[in-house]
């Protein structure tokens, strides 16, 4: 019979430790935090747009199958309107759910050749598609390599929090600049060919 001292020398049962929960990446933290805030702020406008579409008897949402992370398909839902780019804004719930990222390549349909062929590993399968992306904000670029697929691949090779923030800033700046150019600013008028001619000027001379 073992004494208490002998029992103490025996192997002790391992202490229970809680399982380690992996921390979200910086990109996912940005998606979840900023995506939730933007969705909350945009909800009244999205609801008003959806109501306006329903009152007019139009289709409210569009549904289409897209390829997500690791090639997994998901159903992309968005408002059936391009006014103020609400079709894109309405996809914020996909960002919060983790099916989209704020920044990434455009979500492609299954079977699209740009997803890669056969079972070959492709860079698009390594990251989530995005609400906006480098190709989307540079689509009017005059650079010689401004093809969408090359821009998306460039993003995949250099992606990071700094690049994501730069793309998001550009995605906001460009629409605001375009909207500002269309506003009728006070005092702004177009000059005709004769508005800036000197007094006494005659075309007959």
Distance between CA atoms of residues 49 and 55, nearest Å: 10
34 is a domain residue: yes
* 201 found inside a domain: no
pLDDT band at 8 (very low <50, low <70, confident <90, very high): low
When mean pLDDT is compared across 25-34, 54-63, 170-179, the lowest value belongs to 170-179
Residue 101 lies in a domain: yes
Domain that residue 49 falls in: 26-179
Residue 132 domain flag: yes
This model's pTM is above 0.85: no
8 Cβ contact list (under 8 Å, min separation 6): none
In a domain, residue 196? The reply is no
Q: Is the pLDDT score of 204 beyond 50?
A: no
Is 20 inside any structural domain? no
Look at residue 205 and tell me if it is in a domain: no
- pLDDT bucket at 79, cuts 50 / 70 / 90: very high
Structural domains of the chain, count: 1
128 pLDDT more than 90: yes
Name the range with the highest mean pLDDT among 9-18, 73-82, 168-177, 190-199. Answer: 73-82
d(CA 56, CA 191): 41
103 phi and psi angles, rounded to 5 deg: -125, 135
Nearest alpha-carbon partner for 182 in 90, 89, 84, 87: 84
Between 205 and 154, whose confidence is greater? 154
What is the Cα–Cα distance from 24 to 179, expressed in whole angstroms?
Answer: 36
154 within domain boundaries: yes
């Amino acid at each position: 019979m073992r004494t208490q001292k002998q029992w103490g020398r025996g192997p002790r049962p391992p202490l229970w430790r809680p399982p380690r929960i992996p921390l979200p990446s910086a990109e996912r933290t940005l998606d979840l935090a900023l995506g939730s805030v933007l969705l909350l702020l945009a909800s009244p406008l999205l609801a008003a747009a959806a109501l306006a579409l329903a009152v007019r008897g139009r289709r409210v949402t569009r549904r289409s199958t897209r390829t997500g992370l690791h090639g997994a398909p998901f159903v992309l839902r968005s408002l059936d309107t391009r006014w103020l780019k609400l079709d894109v804004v309405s996809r914020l719930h996909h960002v919060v759910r983790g099916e989209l990222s704020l920044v990434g390549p455009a979500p492609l349909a299954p079977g699209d050749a740009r997803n890669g062929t056969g079972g070959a590993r492709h860079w698009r399968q390594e990251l989530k598609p995005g609400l906006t992306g480098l190709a989307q904000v540079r689509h009017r670029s005059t650079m010689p390599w401004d093809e969408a697929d090359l821009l998306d691949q460039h993003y995949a090779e250099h992606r990071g929090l700094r690049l994501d923030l730069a793309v998001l800033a550009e995605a906001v700046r460009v629409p605001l600049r375009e909207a500002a150019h269309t506003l009728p600013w006070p005092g702004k008028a177009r000059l005709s060919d004769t508005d800036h001619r000197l007094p006494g000027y005659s075309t007959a001379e």
